[in-house]
Chain A
């Protein structure tokens, strides 16, 4: 992130109190980070162009890039108008947050597998997964909100995603599905506290009732995801929020359901924190520390939470 400061609405009392409890001594760094200008980032869409060719084209058009250290195909740029570039028009690049690329990387989908993106719109991770699958295998991109399917459809089309089917189901209904998946990404609906620096609307929407409501939905969704995963299959649970209720508590709940194990997550080039094993008056399963927290102030990115589970 650059050093340019911008004005941001005051973080409301309760939210600030919780952030202070999560970040401890790092809270001031978090707030400063939120007020800093952030760098644009994108991912090269390897379904349409090679990384080398894309970089050459971008360079020719005056767009200087710097690789995001923890990705193969992700890049930072200082050019704010990259979203209106020829490369974006062509679907050669996809504008995506640098931490938002992590869940699909942890999922590590392969060509030929059967994969579910349970909450898929707008399609950032769907298109990333399709690229990793090299358009081979079956990718079910589900979106429960019919109005949001249009954007998912738009991005799949623009990015040349051929191996997908878009479904319009409540994620909780996948428990009844006959189809069993090798890999599932549950990038769950959340309060979005980790993107507060980009979308100030998050502050306006935020309240504790919403946190609790999301937590309930997330627990139902993860239960559904576990039930339609093949034995030995991988489930990645992620959010762009910081609340332990929407993160560690959901994973703790999944471990209580049983039949799954938490796996270690190895990420290079990015500073991460362990999952919290206690919060407020609650204590979670110690294995929850295997989850990964990405804090905005550590890497100049959005905040993210990622957990990797394996069905036994």
Chain B
């Protein structure tokens, strides 16, 4: 799944190999993590390892789609070259509270990186003229 995720984010957001220099992607049944080479190459890690670095993607129920996480995009999203959705002040407030936004954006359908000024807010899903906030309930700002 690691390579599938890397291929997807390169294709979707225009990331390059250099954007992830010194980093390694590791997958388990549910998630793809991104961590440093130093961590991934450490041979003497204790046996009961739970997870690595940060969660970069979550494997969806269909077993094929991997959704990039807001946390991953907040760290790496500024390096993306396409499918970046810019929001204005009003839309930003809606997005970080988990609200959908109507749009006439011509970006491709699918996951987008949502940006306000120079801040990467997180992951959105664009479909049928609606930008759906993909920020998890545990992360959204309270009204």
Give A residues with C-beta under 8 Å from B.
48, 84, 86, 89-91, 114, 135-140, 142, 149, 153-154, 156-158, 160-169, 173-174, 177-179
Interface contact B71-A166, CB-CB below 8 Å:
no
Interface contact A157-B52, CB-CB below 8 Å:
no
Interface contact A167-B48, CB-CB below 8 Å:
yes
Given A136-B36, A161-B54, 16 further pairs, Cβ under 8 A: A48-B75, A90-B119, A136-B38, A142-B46, A160-B54, A162-B75, A163-B35, A164-B35, A164-B52, A164-B53, A165-B39, A165-B49, A166-B52, A167-B46, A167-B49, A177-B46
Question: Which of B55, B69, B139 is close to A89, meaning CB atoms less than 8 Å apart?
Answer: B139
Q: Assess whether B50 is interfacial by the CB under 8 Å rule.
A: yes
A45 to B141, CA, bound (A): 18
Interface contact A84-B142, CB-CB below 8 Å:
yes
Give the residue name and chain of the A residue nearest to B36 (CB).
A163
Interface contact B96-A167, CB-CB below 8 Å:
no
A137 to B38, CA, bound (A): 6
A140 to B140, CA, bound (A): 28
Chain B: interface residue count, which band?
20 to 34
Taking CB atoms, residues of chain A closer than 8 Å to B74 are: 48, 90-91, 160
**A150 to nearest B CB, angstroms?**
9
Q: Assess whether B51 is interfacial by the CB under 8 Å rule.
A: yes
Interface contact A149-B54, CB-CB below 8 Å:
no
Taking CB atoms, residues of chain B closer than 8 Å to A89 are: 96, 139-141
Taking CB atoms, residues of chain A closer than 8 Å to B53 are: 156, 161-165
Give the residue name and chain of the B residue nearest to A151 (CB).
B138
Taking CB atoms, residues of chain A closer than 8 Å to B44 are: 177-179
Question: Which of A91, A138, A168, A173 is close to B38, meaning CB atoms less than 8 Å apart?
Answer: A138
A179 to B44, CA, bound (A): 5
Give the residue name and chain of the B residue nearest to A142 (CB).
B46
Q: Mark B104-142, 1 if CB is under 8 A from A, else 0.
A: 000000000000000101000000000000000011111
Taking CB atoms, residues of chain B closer than 8 Å to A173 are: 46
8 residue pairs, one from A and one from B, having the closest CB atoms: A179-B44, A157-B71, A178-B44, A166-B50, A160-B75, A162-B53, A157-B54, A163-B36
Interface contact B39-A164, CB-CB below 8 Å:
yes
**A191 to nearest B CB, angstroms?**
27
Q: Mark B1-33, 1 if CB is under 8 A from A, else 0.
A: 000000000000000000000010000000000
Interface contact B55-A162, CB-CB below 8 Å:
no
Q: Assess whether B42 is interfacial by the CB under 8 Å rule.
A: yes
**B111 to nearest A CB, angstroms?**
17
Taking CB atoms, residues of chain A closer than 8 Å to B45 are: 140, 165, 167, 179
Interface contact B46-A140, CB-CB below 8 Å:
yes
**B82 to nearest A CB, angstroms?**
23
Interface contact A162-B46, CB-CB below 8 Å:
no
A38 to B34, CA, bound (A): 38
**A138 to nearest B CB, angstroms?**
5
Give the residue name and chain of the A residue nearest to B118 (CB).
A53
A164 to B33, CA, bound (A): 11
Interface contact B139-A158, CB-CB below 8 Å:
yes
Among A160, A162, A179: residue with most chain B CB under 10 A: A162
